[in-house]
Amino acid sequence: MLPRCVIPSRLGRAARNPVFRQQTKQFHYARSSPATQLGYLTATGLATTSGLYWWWSSGKRDGVPQLDASPADNSVVEPPFSHEKVTRILSEEAYSFSVRDIPGIDRHDGAQLASNSPCEDRLTHAKFQSPWPNDNNPWMAWAVFDGHAGWQTAELLENQLIPSVRHSLSQVTPDSDGNKSLAGEDAIQCAISNAFVNLDDAIFKAALEASQSNEPLHQRVRDLLPAFAGSCALLSIFDPATSVLHVACTGDSRAVLGQQQSDGRWEAIPLSIDQTGSNEGEIARICSEHPGEEDICKDGRVLGLMCTRAFGDGRWKWPVELQQDLRRRFYGPAPLTPKYDVRTPPYVTAEPVVTTVKIDPTRPSFLIMATDGLWDMLSSQQAVDLVGKWLSGEARTEKESGTSPAASDKPFNFGHFRDGVNWKFVADRTTVQDDNVAVHLVRNCLGGSDLELLTGRLAFGPPFSRTLRDDITVQVVLFGVPGLQSTNQG
């Protein structure tokens, strides 16, 4: 039973809820006798001392909302999810930009669907002046960040990573003729990698300085949080002068290039490899760095952490003694010990794997970048095929024909997943109806044309939605596919 003193505050919060406000309109105590009113309150569990105080005061003309319907008329039914409502939910955090001033890029779309509250994913995109002298072509960058144990690290990266990489690129040593743009692929990849590592170092330096400073407590805690939490990072940078795309991956977000073949099929070209405890190359690297510690990688995780590379995550990087001190003084996260055998941290690094690919301007192609909330539901090839279907014009054909997405032929519940229904993407459930290609990917990974499955997943809010879906963040960049328009230009 709740303490009596808690009930008024909880009623106050409930009264601010739109659904509760609808319910209050269905009741009217003022037209019934006090005995009837008290009997109803007792039956509904409101007749405590504090509950009666709230009830009696609400009958006075003191500005408190009046309850004005009979108790018998108390049903509140949410309207069913319409196609329009589903699209509004999926598109709430979406964007779309046509690109006019960067050769080789036609458009880029993005979308985000939260499952955590607040969402732990972040995304960003930006144009910036070329770091090479005498190059007037602006470059373009996109990034997605998958936070964990909080959003603070991801938000810091959203604001700081691209500027840090741009600065690092400007420090590249020119070639023998003084030309930075010809300095070499290795030098560029090294500059990007250095920016990642230096930014992670700065996060921990700021945290340690904060822990020893005389700043107000809230300021010190704020500076510690990006080191307590963690985030994966996936960054892509396009140089229009060379048509080269650089992709840097730290963690298990994924980038894939879709390229159309001569027969019309779309080939999925991986631009990153998920860095998790299931990646044999990552396991071998970590074990070689910590010889004799056999249980570091177990059940697809590194001392309990899914990703093998990440920003922040002090529990996998700091000595245990420091973690214990920060736990005592600032209520930091509990150290991994004694559950895990922590001997020689750091076990996790922010150093990215950088891939470079030249975009063929004679072939239609596109880049998909997404956090693992999308890749949990579909494969790289499936995502590429979905974008290919969207580009084929089916989006406009289905939309203009007025056809509705097919619903399940019988009432659906999630127990059907145990009866052979696939909870991941199924090609037979593909639908093409969105103007935004990133929204199109999110819709199809959650159920596509099966409106019962899709709306069932969307009906859950945090924290319950985490059992059905993760935060999902997607960006799609279209190269060599002119003629597509968006609502914005950039």
- Could you tell me which residues come within 8 angstroms of residue 260 by beta carbon, excluding any fewer than 6 positions away? 266, 267, 363, 364, 365, 388
Gap between the Cα atoms of 194 and 173, Å rounded:
14
> How large is the C-alpha radius of gyration of the chain?
27
**Residue pair 349/282 in contact by the 8 Å Cβ criterion:** no
Please state, in angstroms and rounded to a whole number, the distance separating the CA atoms of residues 253 and 372.
5
Give the separation between CA 57 and CA 62, rounded to whole angstroms: 8
Identify whether the C-beta of residue 490 lies closer than 8 Å to the C-beta of residue 453: no
**Which residue's entry shows tokens 């639908």?**
431
Joined together, the tokens standing for residue 429 give 């459930």
Would you say 469 and 371 are in contact if contact means Cβ atoms under 8 Å apart?
no
Task: Quickly tell me which residue has 């997607």 as its tokens.
Answer: 474
Tokens, residue 189: 């990849």
CA distance 135 to 174: 14
In this predicted structure, what is the pLDDT of residue 14?
41
Q: Are 468 and 116 in contact (CB under 8 A)?
A: no
């700021």: which residue's tokens?
206
Structure tokens at 331: 């209520």
Q: How far is CA 409 from the centre of its chain?
A: 32
> Rounded to the nearest 5°, which phi and psi values hold at 478?
-100, 120
Strand pairing category for 488-489 and 95-98: parallel
Phi, psi of 133 (to 5 degrees): -60, 150
CA distance 315 to 302: 12
| Other CB atoms within 10 A of residue 345 CB | 18
First CA to last CA distance, the chain: 57
Q: How far is CA 449 from the centre of its chain?
A: 23
Residues 482/382, Cβ–Cβ less than 8 Å: no
- Written as tens digits, the pLDDT of the chain (490 aa) is 434 343 333 334 344 344 334 343 333 334 444 444 434 334 444 444 444 333 334 445 567 777 665 555 555 556 667 888 999 999 999 999 999 889 999 999 999 999 999 999 999 999 999 988 888 889 999 999 999 999 999 999 999 999 999 999 999 986 655 566 556 788 999 999 999 999 999 999 999 999 999 999 999 999 999 999 999 999 999 999 999 999 999 999 999 999 999 999 999 999 999 999 999 999 999 999 999 998 899 999 999 999 999 999 999 999 999 999 999 999 999 999 999 999 999 999 999 999 999 999 889 999 999 999 999 999 999 999 999 999 987 644 444 444 444 444 567 888 888 888 889 999 999 999 999 999 999 999 999 999 999 999 999 999 999 999 999 999 999 998 755 555 554 5
Tokens of 95: 């964007």
Question: What's the CA gap between 311 and 308, in Å, rounded?
Answer: 10
Cα–Cα distances (Å) from 469 to 71, 80, 254, in that order, read 38, 21, 17
User: Do 122 and 157 meet the contact criterion of CB atoms below 8 Å apart?
Assistant: yes
Of the candidates 407, 403, 473, 479, the residue with the CA atom closest to the CA atom of residue 438: 473
CATH architecture of 83-399+407-479: 4-Layer Sandwich (3.60)
Q: What confidence score (pLDDT) does residue 53 get?
A: 37
| CA–CA dist 214, 429 (Å, integer) | 58
* Domain positions in the chain: 83-399+407-479
Specify the 3-state DSSP secondary structure of 423: coil
Please tell me the pTM assigned to this model. 0.82
3-state secondary structure of 197: helix
Asked if residues 390 and 399 have their Cβ atoms less than 8 Å apart, the reply is no
Residues in the chain: 490
